[in-house]
């Protein structure tokens, strides 16, 4: 009877951890689906350089998102202690996204069929490209703060290290899955409809300009952290 009790308890705990992992995966995966700078870049890398480089990029993006999420779960006090750091990152995001957007349009106008888009026209390892682009996206901090608070209030997620780690791993997996969707789906669309490099550069330019405008609004009028 005692063995049956412990077996049942183990099964219930495993079911709870599976639910937490899947919840993290789902939230992060759905969060990646709206077209944005991270997703369009993963498509661009897959089309221009192949899936191996795109996977390196996706892992880099997910790594920083995991760090940000774990920081949020560790407590808002820790975030507020580094508030100035995130403000600086926020303004750097505006500058870099605006520059990438403008340069993408310039590249599209002067397009050379063999030339890569400005964000890929470098020798940076795609893993570190993913790391840097994700680090320059501190907007994910309020996103994760809202979702983690919501799930804790629903008692889906509880304030203990094991559940936090399970949730974080699920979120990291969801981020990679969402980017993989854009890698393979975007590559299929580009191949299927024979999308030109010039069109891809224009799309990237639009996405980066919109992202810069949203980040600028958030820094000036919105709540940043």
Sequence-distant (≥ 6) Cβ neighbours of residue 31 within 8 angstroms: 143, 174, 175, 178
- The predicted model gives 177-186 an average pLDDT of 92
pLDDT tens digits for range 64-94: 999 989 888 886 545 555 667 667 777 887 8
d(CA 105, CA 113): 15
pLDDT tens digits for range 32-66: 887 788 888 898 898 888 899 999 999 999 999 99
pTM of the model: 0.76
Residue 8 has pLDDT above 70, yes or no: no
Greatest mean pLDDT range, 68-77, 130-139, 170-179 = 170-179
More confident residue, 200 or 209: 209
Residue 26 has pLDDT above 80, yes or no: yes
Average pLDDT in the chain:
79
Burial status of residue 76 (CB atoms within 10 A of its CB: 0-12, 13-18, 19 or more):
middle
More confident residue, 73 or 201: 73
Domain regions of the chain by residue span: 37-220
Residue 222 has pLDDT above 60, yes or no: yes
Residue 179 has pLDDT above 80, yes or no: yes
DSSP the chain: -HHHHHHHHHHHHHHHHHHHHHHHHHHHHHHH-S--HHHHHHHHHHHHH-HHHHHHHHHHHHHHHHHHHHHHHH-HHHHHHTHHHHHHHHHHHHHHHHHHHHHHHHHHHT--TTPPPTTTSS---HHHHHHHHHHT-TTHHHHHHHHHHHHHHTTSS-SSHHHHHHHHHHHHHHHHHHHHHHHHHHHHHHHHTT--HHHHHHHHHHHHHHHHHHHHHHHHTS---
Residue 194 has pLDDT above 70, yes or no: no
Is the CA virtual torsion 167, 172, 18, 147 positive or negative? Answer: positive
**Residue for token pair 């300009």:** 209
pLDDT bin (cut points 50, 70, 90) of residue 12 is very low
d(CA 111, CA 157): 50
């Amino acid at each position: 009877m005692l063995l049956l009790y412990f077996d049942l308890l183990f099964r219930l705990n495993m079911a709870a951890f599976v639910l937490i992992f899947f919840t993290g995966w789902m939230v992060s995966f759905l969060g990646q689906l709206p077209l944005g700078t991270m997703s369009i870049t993963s498509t661009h890398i897959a089309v221009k350089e192949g899936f191996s480089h795109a996977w390196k990029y996706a892992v880099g993006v997910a790594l920083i998102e995991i760090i940000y999420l774990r920081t949020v779960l560790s407590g808002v006090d820790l975030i507020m202690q580094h508030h100035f750091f995130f403000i600086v990152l926020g303004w750097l995001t505006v500058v870099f996204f605006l520059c990438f957007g403008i340069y993408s349009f310039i590249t599209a106008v002067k397009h050379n069929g063999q030339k890569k888009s400005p964000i890929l026209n470098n020798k940076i390892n795609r893993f570190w490209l993913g790391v840097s682009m994700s680090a320059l996206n501190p907007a994910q901090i309020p996103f994760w703060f809202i979702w983690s608070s919501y799930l804790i209030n629903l008692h889906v997620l509880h304030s203990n290290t094991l559940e936090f780690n399970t949730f974080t791993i699920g979120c990291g997996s969801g981020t990679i899955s969402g980017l993989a969707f854009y890698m393979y789906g975007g590559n299929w669309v580009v191949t299927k409809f024979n999308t030109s490099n010039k069109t891809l550069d224009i799309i990237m330019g639009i996405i980066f300009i919109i992202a810069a405008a949203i980040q600028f609004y958030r820094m000036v009028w919105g709540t940043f952290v």
